[in-house]
């Protein structure tokens, strides 16, 4: 699996496409979600809190990219499923600064979106609702301290209770020592890759947490994704304006397709794209790709010399709720033999590198654009699918034999150690997972002041959402 991910103060929100949509109810009633809990009943109120904190709004502007997605829906006979996305963006008036419009004036100053398409490379004017403008902003305001440039390395139980967390500085030379923190309770929130690696290292290498579940690293999912797209040869069309993901269609009950854009000049992704290849293994698909090059040489040359690939291209993000997964273990990855990291292993329900509905969508989109469809190179040459939404590896379960954490996110075998991030999600969601991760985290956090077993007197500050002075934006 090829995974696109990053880390920073603000987590994935710094470079995500700010697409915040709730999955279908049927997802949470699936076999992989523990049956002891009615997840729809429990999570729905927390989805609403998450939407208010991340300030979800419907995309008001259908750019050329989005209109092409509407045409694709018509061509795939699912026109009625087309819809603008729900996103975490302050639209306001383009480039106009205003006092906090969301939290009764208690939040930061905001600037209106000018639809430059730069959401995923870092919003240049502050319109994107990244976590440093809501959750982290208020955490710091109310006394939390954030220590950047440190990587958690070792978690050790203390003899008098609680845990010490040893860190490594990522700014120093060769991983120099960082700070050590101590606390009665520790929450792992490093994303699916960071949390799984940290737990495996502390269980199997440092052996400071030997009682952790043997299920850690298993049932890792890609959100059922495939990345492809199409480029237009019409130089007058500009698909780079708008927001990162502005519209979507649903070709069947298990699949969602979104149109993705990067801003003009952001052409790095072109080096990951190759002409579309049909079904087959890692020998057949490259041959099919070569045959397409041989039979359409002019189109290949035009692709090669496109002056601004991002302006001419629509990337298709295809997501499915169909079950598929891999296992992550510790090892020496090929691209970094000198550092212990995560390696993927095949698991029952292997993640496919070819989705027929995705290939069909790319061909039809190329017809609409009068251009050429493209695959991501890893799918064609290595049978390796790509994802921007890695999930699982430390799942919620009824016991250590079924998962890594209980329904309150506490790690089996260790009181006071918790996980709250994408690694607990036990299924593909078929939508961008950020809102679901946030809702799960809200549910987890809600247990703290109400659970006597935790022994906490802390009462969280009340956030006022309804403010008479902000009218329709409250």
Give one DSSP letter per residue of 102-147, joined into a string: SSTT-S--EEB---BS-GGG--SSS-B--GGGTHHHHHHHTT----
In 156-233, alpha helices (H): 191-200
Alpha-carbon distance 440 to 420, whole Å? 7
Alpha-carbon distance 214 to 188, whole Å? 17
Burial zone of 3 (CB within 10 Å; 0-12 exposed, 13-18 middle, 19+ buried): middle
On whether the CB atoms of residues 193 and 2 are closer than 8 A, the answer is: no
Report CA-CA distances (Å) from 401 to 207, 208, 326, 411. Answer: 19, 20, 18, 12
DSSP code at position 181: E
CA angle 20, 23, 24 (to 5 degrees): 145
Alpha-carbon distance 324 to 292, whole Å? 30
Strands (DSSP E) found in 253-394: 255-260, 273-275, 313-320, 326-331, 341-346, 371-376, 386-387, 391-392
On whether the CB atoms of residues 17 and 120 are closer than 8 A, the answer is: yes
On whether the CB atoms of residues 230 and 372 are closer than 8 A, the answer is: yes
Catalytic residue (one of 46, 250, 389, 409): 389
SS3 for 416?
Answer: coil
CB-hemisphere CA count at 13 Å for 305? 5
Alpha-carbon distance 257 to 318, whole Å? 5
Sign of the C-alpha dihedral computed for residues 226, 232, 235 and 236 taken in this order: negative
**Residue with tokens 């190759």, as numbered in its chain:** 274
Does 389 qualify as catalytic in the annotation?
Answer: yes
Instruction: List, by residue number, the catalytic residues.
Output: 389
């Amino acid at each position: 699996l090829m995974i696109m991910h990053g880390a920073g103060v603000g987590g994935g929100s710094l470079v995500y496409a700010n697409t915040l949509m709730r999955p279908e109810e049927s997802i949470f009633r699936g076999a992989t979600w523990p049956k002891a809990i009615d997840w729809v009943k429990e999570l729905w109120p927390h989805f609403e809190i998450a939407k208010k904190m991340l300030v979800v709004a419907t995309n008001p502007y259908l750019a050329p990219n989005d209109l092409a997605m509407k045409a694709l829906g018509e061509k795939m006979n699912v026109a009625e499923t087309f819809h603008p996305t729900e996103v975490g963006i302050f639209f306001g008036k383009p480039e106009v600064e205003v006092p906090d419009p969301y939290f009764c004036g208690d939040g930061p100053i905001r600037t209106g979106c000018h639809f430059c398409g730069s959401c995923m490379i870092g919003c240049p004017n502050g319109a994107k609702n990244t976590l440093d403008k809501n959750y982290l902003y208020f955490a710091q305001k109310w006394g939390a301290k954030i220590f950047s440039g440190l990587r958690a390395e070792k978690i050790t139980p203390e003899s008098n209770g609680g845990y010490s967390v040893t860190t490594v500085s990522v700014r120093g030379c060769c991983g120099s020592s960082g700070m050590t923190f101590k606390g009665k309770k520790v929450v792992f929130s490093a994303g699916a890759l960071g949390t799984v690696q940290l737990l495996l290292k502390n269980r199997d290498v440092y052996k400071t947490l030997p009682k952790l579940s043997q299920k850690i690293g298993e049932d890792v999912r890609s959100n059922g994704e495939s990345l492809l797209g199409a480029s237009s040869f019409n130089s007058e069309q500009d698909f780079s304006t708008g927001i990162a993901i502005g519209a979507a269609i649903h070709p069947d009950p298990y699949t969602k397709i979104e149109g993705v854009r990067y801003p003009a000049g952001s052409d790095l992704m072109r080096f990951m794209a190759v002409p579309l290849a049909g079904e087959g293994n890692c020998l057949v698909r490259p041959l099919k790709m070569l045959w397409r090059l041989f039979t359409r040489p002019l189109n290949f040359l035009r692709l090669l010399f496109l002056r601004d690939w991002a302006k001419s291209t629509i990337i298709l993000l295809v997501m499915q709720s169909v079950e598929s997964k891999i296992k992550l273990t510790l090892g020496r990855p090929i691209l970094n033999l000198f550092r212990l990291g995560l390696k993927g292993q095949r698991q029952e329900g292997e993640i496919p590198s070819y989705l027929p509905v995705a290939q069909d969508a790319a061909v039809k989109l190329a017809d609409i654009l009068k251009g050429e469809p493209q695959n991501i190179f890893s799918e064609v040459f290595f049978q390796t699918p790509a994802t921007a939404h890695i999930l699982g590896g430390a799942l919620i379960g009824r016991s250590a034999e079924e998962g890594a954490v209980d329904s309150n996110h506490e790690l089996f075998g260790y009181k006071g150690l918790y996980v709250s991030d994408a690694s607990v999600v036990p299924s593909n969601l078929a939508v961008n997972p950020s809102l679901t991760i946030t809702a799960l985290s809200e549910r987890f956090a809600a247990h703290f002041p109400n659970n006597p077993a935790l022994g906490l007197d802390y009462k969280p500050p009340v956030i006022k959402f309804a403010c008479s002075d902000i009218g329709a934006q409250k």
